Amino acid sequence: MGETGPVNTPIRLGTRASALATTQSGMVARRIEELTGRPVELVHVRTEGDVRTGSLASLGGTGVFVAALRDALLEGRCDVAVHSLKDLPTAAVEGLTIVTPEREDPRDALCARDGLTLETLPRGARVGTGSPRRAAQIRATRPDLDVVDIRGNVDTRLNRALGPDADLDAVVLAWSGLARLGRTDAVTDALDPAVVAPAPGQGALAVEARTADLASGPLAEAFAGLDHRPTRLAVIAERSVLARLEAGCAAPVGALARVEEGRLLLDAVVARTDGTEKLKHRSAIALTHDDAADDDAARALGVRVAEALLADGAERLAPLGSAAVLPAPGEPVDPTEAGAPGS
């Protein structure tokens, strides 16, 4: 696309067609319009994760919501794509670059009947989630609960617990997706990350374009405007944990980093799927005002935390698979697939 197209030529933004995906993409589209002065049109792309049924892990898990959007970018059917960052592989796709806007609240949220919380759910209560990470940590905290694997969009899952034909007592979703859809009224318990650590990158979006289109021009300026430094540093560290552990969506791995008072703090957890054992590690680094140096330091922080978890026996607890190389937001990336459910 570059800077040669007419000012009124729309920028085509690829998105999944779900309510959450189009809401997230609409937010990004409006911001790109502000930054470029160009109209943005949404292009719906159907992904493997939208077509196939079954648990995310049984679908091969990682990347089922991402590959078709990346194909559309590489084939020129769209100019920009928006992903939930936690869906993205930790390995890269040659010719594509991502940027991370400011993150929404990364916590998980319990949506339960009768205003119940994780602590007040009765023994034997049925809790639905499609995430092995959430399931493992909920079992670790409340081994007396019946954790049920579920799939479906946000409304489908909420109805399983809160609808007229509810067959569950509660479901767990990402706060960020509920917030973007205006559905935080359904939340009865925002889960403390010390109890249920979020997925690496949860609450953040990844905006992706062809690297060649970012050499100069309005889209390059838009990507610079979309970049949020604290979010970028946090998700680099979190995804570096995932990459070093060689973990995909079937591994119960949580990580959360944040910038506080000039430092980047990182907490990570690996749990046994049945919740009977959990390992945690925390570390921090001082930040400078050098973006490249701080990106490298954030990546190294994630590696250090992951290696501490491995030294403590993480491989005994979780399915840790083939190696993956971490793409830094804002840097070119190469093709593979990894990730986790988008909401």
Half-sphere exposure of 144 (CA within 13 A, CB side): 8
* Contact status, residue 209 vs residue 79, Cβ threshold 8 Å: yes
Count of Cβ atoms closer than 10 Å to residue 152 Cβ: 15
Helix, strand, coil percent values for the chain (each to nearest 5): 35, 20, 45
Q: Which of 79, 87, 108, 267 is catalytic?
A: 87
CA atoms within 13 A on the CB side of 274: 2
Name 11's Cβ contacts closer than 8 Å, sequence gap at least 6. 1, 32, 36, 38, 39, 40, 41, 79, 80, 219
Backbone phi and psi for residue 170, each to the nearest 5 degrees, phi listed first = -165, 160
Closest Cα partner for 68 from 49, 86, 52, 90?
Answer: 49
Tell me if 109 sits within 8 A of 131, measured CB to CB.
Answer: no
146-149 β-sheet, strand order: 146-149, 126-129, 170-174, 108-112, 189-190
The amino acid present at 30, given as its one-letter code, is R
State the amino acid at position 249 in one-letter form.
Answer: C
At residue 133's C-alpha, the angle toward residues 127 and 138, to 5°, is 40
> CA distances (Å), 249 to each of 76, 95, 143, 252, in order?
29, 25, 22, 8
Of 193, 196, 265, 270, the C-alpha closest to 233 is: 265
Residue position matching structure tokens 């023994």: 123
Q: Does 87 qualify as catalytic in the annotation? A: yes
- Number of alpha helices (DSSP H) and beta strands (DSSP E) in the chain: 10, 14
**Which positions are catalytic?**
87
